[in-house]
């Protein structure tokens, strides 16, 4: 989860930068037999790259890295590890977009999944694409769009791997309409912790299929995914509207995600501007930018409803109808609506533009103490008052994005490992507190995150975390709730020696 205001926030707040620093683990020497025909890379630059991740908080040092030329390479590695008396653990790594070392392994072997980023193969009927797990979503978009189709759900950031995303869930502004990315998979090729190469789907090896989707890499390494496709629109009409009233903001968000498909929007998210942070006004015309800043100063908090409607050139009358409906039916602050017309690709790839700018300024590889939560609709006002007003707004500085938007929980398949709040409600809210830190400010930000979690627990708000890493088994048991027994059984069934993804710290 990322967004466009990240650049301005980081440039303003980050002064003193360094590489990841929190903890380091020394690996053990691993000698793979020649019969495996695998090269274990142990040069310092490769080890260093595999020891750190996007979070830039934790360093976890493996003994080596393999760059597989085929799925069978991974199968041989895991089969060998599973049958040796003195064994080692294995972590699959795509782009390393984890936050706390989940994609690495202390003293074990990292499998560089980007080595298996093959071409995207679109089916003849254009209803699905077969994609290698190491492929980036942006490349899936490019290849499928050439055929006039594309996946139907997306994360905000496309430069992450297919396999890594499906191992977590994959959420973004399209979830309310088409579900998370894991809800749009027809079939998988998976290599279990025993080295078995299995194809799975809802009807074939279904226990593995549902376990792997959102399973945090615990049951197998995804090597291929069959992704649902639909028509690829050409354009996106992209809107942002400002609110000073939280109830009006959430009411309009919930209304938009419930609108009929023939006129409803295709993307919806929300941001929070706070007076103790940097306000990104770049989306609005220059004549309005100072007014937006003044609004935030006046109210302390301003809410940004962000939405988009996809379309093709012949459908312009429908777009005009959508624009009119938004203007007439929503309760945003009068005059504070701005819209852009962009290509479908540019809209979906919008965060990459900001990443490039940050990288050019040396402001990308910094600590990211992100906190991502799901909050029940019935408690979102309590969360807002207790967290946004009483914790975040009282920080000395807010150093990142705060995202808040609703989604329909019926778009999630409860048979999958991924967790959302176990409640009897139709709507849940996605919260993304995407802060960026310096080594000096990291402890404070981590303390704020802990305070937020403590507030939710003390207040009885049944949250679930996303992209989390717990260090106590009881926390994982609480996280998986009613799914824990099945989760544990699947671990024993598919990875009995507990070789896979030890960075998650579950078993």
Q: Which residues are catalytic?
A: 97, 156, 269
Bridge-based pairing of strands 90-93 and 109-112 is: parallel
CB 502 within 8 A of CB 89: yes
CA–CA distance, 416 with 48 (Å, rounded to integer): 34
Extract the tokens encoding 10: 């980081």
The rounded Cα 437 to chain-centroid distance in angstroms is 19
C-alpha neighbours within 13 Å on the C-beta side of residue 384: 22
Residue whose C-alpha is closest to residue 188's, from 228, 148, 142: 228
Helix 6-13 to helix 350-360 angle, to the nearest 10 degrees? 20
Query: In what helix (H) or strand (E) does residue 309 lie, and over which residues does it extend?
Result: strand 301-311
Residue whose C-alpha is closest to residue 120's, from 229, 234, 212: 229
Long-range interactions of 49-53: CB distance < 8 A, separation 24+: 49/96, 50/93, 50/96, 50/104, 50/110, 50/112, 51/20, 51/24, 51/104, 52/19, 52/20, 52/96, 52/104, 53/20, 53/96, 53/97, 53/98, 53/99, 53/100, 53/101, 53/102, 53/103, 53/104
CB 137 within 8 A of CB 158: yes
The answer for residues whose C-beta is within 8 angstroms of residue 82's C-beta and 6 or more apart is 193, 194, 195, 496, 497, 499
Outline where 380-483 has alpha helix (H): 380-383, 442-458, 473-480
Q: Looking up tokens 């020394």, which residue turns up?
A: 26
Nearest-10 Cα torsion for 77, 78, 80, 85: 130
The order of strands in the sheet holding 427-435 is 337-343, 235-243, 301-311, 267-274, 400-408, 427-435, 371-376, 464-466
Extract the tokens encoding 249: 């903001």
Beta strands (DSSP E) in 101-200 are 109-112, 121-122, 128-132, 149-151, 185-192, 197-200
CA–CA distance, 425 with 129 (Å, rounded to integer): 33
Query: In what helix (H) or strand (E) does residue 13 lie, and over which residues does it extend?
Result: helix 6-13
Helix 473-480 to helix 484-494 angle, to the nearest 10 degrees? 110
CB 408 within 8 A of CB 425: no
The answer for residues whose C-beta is within 8 angstroms of residue 48's C-beta and 6 or more apart is none
């Amino acid at each position: 989860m990322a967004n466009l205001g990240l650049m301005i926030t980081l440039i303003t707040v980050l002064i003193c930068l360094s590489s990841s620093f929190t903890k380091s683990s020394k690996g053990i020497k691993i000698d793979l037999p020649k019969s495996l025909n695998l090269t274990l890379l142990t040069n310092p630059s490769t080890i260093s790259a595999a020891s750190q991740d996007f979070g830039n908080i934790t360093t976890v040092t493996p003994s080596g890295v393999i760059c597989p030329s085929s799925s069978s390479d991974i199968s041989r590695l895991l089969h060998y590890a599973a049958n040796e008396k003195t064994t080692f653990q294995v972590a699959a790594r795509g782009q390393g977009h984890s936050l706390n070392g989940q994609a690495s392994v202390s003293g074990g072997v990292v499998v560089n999944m980007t080595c298996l980023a093959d071409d995207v193969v679109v089916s003849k009927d254009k209803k699905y694409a077969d994609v290698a797990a190491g492929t980036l979503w942006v490349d899936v978009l490019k290849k499928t769009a050439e055929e006039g189709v594309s996946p139907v759900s997306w994360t905000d950031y496309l430069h992450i791997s297919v396999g890594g995303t499906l191992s977590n869930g994959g959420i973004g502004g399209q979830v309310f309409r088409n579900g998370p990315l894991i809800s749009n998979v027809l079939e998988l090729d998976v290599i279990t912790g025993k080295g078995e190469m299995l194809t799975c789907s809802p009807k074939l090896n279904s226990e593995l299929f549902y376990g792997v989707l959102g399973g945090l890499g615990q049951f197998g390494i995804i090597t291929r995914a069959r992704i649902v496709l639909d028509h690829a629109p050409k354009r996106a009409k992209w809107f942002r509207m400002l609110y000073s009233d939280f109830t009006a903001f959430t009411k309009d968000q919930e209304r938009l995600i419930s609108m009929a498909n023939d006129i409803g929007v295709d993307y919806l998210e929300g941001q929070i501007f706070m007076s103790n942070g940097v306000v990104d006004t770049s989306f609005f015309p220059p004549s309005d930018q100072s007014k937006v800043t003044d609004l935030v100063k006046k109210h302390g908090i301003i809410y940004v409803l962000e939405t988009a409607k996809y379309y093709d050139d012949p459908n312009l009358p429908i777009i005009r109808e959508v624009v009119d409906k938004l203007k007439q039916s929503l309760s945003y602050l009068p005059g504070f609506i701005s819209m852009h017309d962009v290509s479908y690709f540019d809209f979906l790839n919008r965060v990459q533009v900001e990443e490039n700018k940050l990288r050019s300024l040396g402001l990308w590889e910094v600590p990211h103490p992100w906190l991502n939560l799901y909050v029940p609709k019935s408690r979102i006002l309590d969360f807002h008052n207790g967290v946004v007003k009483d914790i975040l707004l009282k920080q000395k500085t807010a150093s990142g994005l705060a995202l808040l938007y609703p989604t329909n929980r019926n778009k999630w398949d409860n048979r999958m490992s991924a967790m959302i709040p176990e409640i009897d409600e139709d709507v849940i809210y996605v919260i993304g507190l995407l802060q960026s830190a310096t080594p000096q400010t990291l402890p404070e930000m981590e303390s704020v995150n802990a305070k937020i979690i403590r507030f939710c627990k003390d207040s009885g708000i049944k949250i679930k975390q996303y992209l989390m890493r717990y260090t106590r088994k009881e926390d994982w048991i609480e996280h998986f709730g009613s799914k824990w027994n099945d989760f544990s059984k699947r671990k024993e069934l598919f990875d009995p020696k507990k070789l896979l993804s030890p960075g998650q710290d579950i078993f």
